[in-house]
A = this chain, B = another copy of it.
Amino acid sequence: MKVGVLTGGGDCPGLNAVIRSVVRKGVQEYGFDFVGVRDGWLGLLQDDVAPLDIPRVRGILPRGGTILGSSRTNPFKHEDGLRRVRRTLAAHGVDALVVIGGEDTLGVATELHRQGVPLVGVPKTIDNDVSGTDYTFGFDTAVGIATEAIDRLHTTAESHMRTLVVEVMGRHSGWIALHAGVAGGANVILVPERPFDIEQVCDQVRSRFKIRYAPIVVVAEGAAPRQGQTVLKDESLDEFGHVRLSGIGEWLAREIQQRTGHDARTTVLGHIQRGGTPSAFDRWLATRFGLHAIDAVRDGDFGVMVSLRGTRIVRVPLADATATKKVVDQPLCDEFGVFFG
């Protein structure tokens, strides 16, 4: 049996750990052959694949990034994309795919599987917003980096008695903000799932200053004030259509400073949250995902995604997993009621 492996979407610590365990178990236990697909779906469109074996995956467990490269290419947005994908798979005799990716990449996988391509999905995103799994790998690493940054900012906040706003990743979900905010001892945590009231935030800030402590505000990049409040406008996208690095965090610091009269500054953590060596938790999870993904391939159990449930790895239908995003829900926020504004 010949198996293709591809990684799609944004950089995420643990991708290499999945590739490594898929290939090691596939070769050693099942005698499979492997090819690596370059740059996600792009490699299948452009017939850019290369053999993948155990020597090739040696030493990659602790390395960030992906040895296969990645892209955000969607084959269904190319005319005859599906045909080209099939042709590449046929040309190399690929019997099954292991697709490692986030919402977009797995959405494509879901559709390809419907069209008859035999594949198994592995969920990947630092944002932790894939349904059907307790956690995705990359998330723990991102939370760890953000928490360490918050730890460092505490001493600056205290020494200068100013508010420090920390903007973390999360356009659509607040998982990183919530976990890093709780772990870092933030005084206010703002997530996309719950529009915030800027005056409530300022009340929290003021009450912190009253006891002579400096507040830390953690905000997900996708968080937004309630309707009717001053809103980011043209600032939110830059001329290339990127969300600006300095969006909501800077707005918050400005508003807090003006409304409370206390100095406020912003730190935007940005890409450092998604690179570098994966945490032990993420290496463990990614390694297990890989081992179970290749088991599913051997079982001919296609159209599934491996996922974490408690301490066990299970298989769930890809279609279910990609139907909705997993968001920070109200009951979980309520747990931390005392910590929020």
B residues near A160, Cβ cutoff 8 Å: 10-11, 70
Contact status A239-B254, CB under 8 Å: yes
Q: Is the CB of B183 within 8 A of A65?
A: no
Copies of this chain, tallied across the complex: 4
Interface stretch of the complex, out of A74-82, A86-94, A98-106, A331-339: A331-339
B155 touches A276 (CB 8 A): yes
Contact partners of A330 in chain B: CB under 8 A: none
Known contacts: A64-B155, A159-B65, A338-B29. The answer to whether A183 contacts B280 by CB under 8 A is yes
Rounded to whole angstroms, the CA-CA distance of A283 and B183 in the bound complex is: 5
Q: Does B280 lie within 8 Å of A271, measured CB to CB?
A: no
Q: How far in angstroms is the closest Cβ of chain B from A77?
A: 18
**Number of residues in A with C-beta < 8 Å to the partner?**
84
A156 CB, min distance to chain B CBs, angstroms: 4
Question: Counting CB contacts under 8 A, is A37 at the interface?
Answer: no
Does B335 lie within 8 Å of A288, measured CB to CB? yes
A 143-155 to B, binary, CB cutoff 8 A, 1 in contact else 0: 1111111011111
Q: How far is the CB of A177 from chain B (nearest CB, A)?
A: 12
15 additional A-B pairs beyond A149-B272, A156-B275, A183-B281, beta carbons within 8 Å, are A10-B160, A13-B155, A63-B155, A64-B156, A65-B158, A148-B280, A153-B272, A183-B280, A239-B254, A240-B254, A245-B246, A245-B250, A245-B265, A246-B250, A310-B310
Q: 8 interchain pairs (CB within 8 A)?
A: A61-B183, A69-B161, A144-B280, A151-B275, A151-B276, A153-B271, A179-B280, A279-B279
- Known: A156-B275, A245-B246, A254-B239. Is A287-B58 also a contact (CB below 8 A)? no
Task: Annotate A52-70 by CB proximity to B: 1 below 8 A, 0 otherwise.
Answer: 0000001101111110011
Q: Is the CB of B271 within 8 A of A159?
A: no
- A61 to B185, alpha carbons, bound, how many Å? 7
> How far in angstroms is the closest Cβ of chain B from A314?
11
When distances are taken between beta carbons in the complex, the residues of chain B under 8 Å from A270 are 265-268
Known: A283-B183, A337-B29. A274 touches B147 (CB 8 A): no
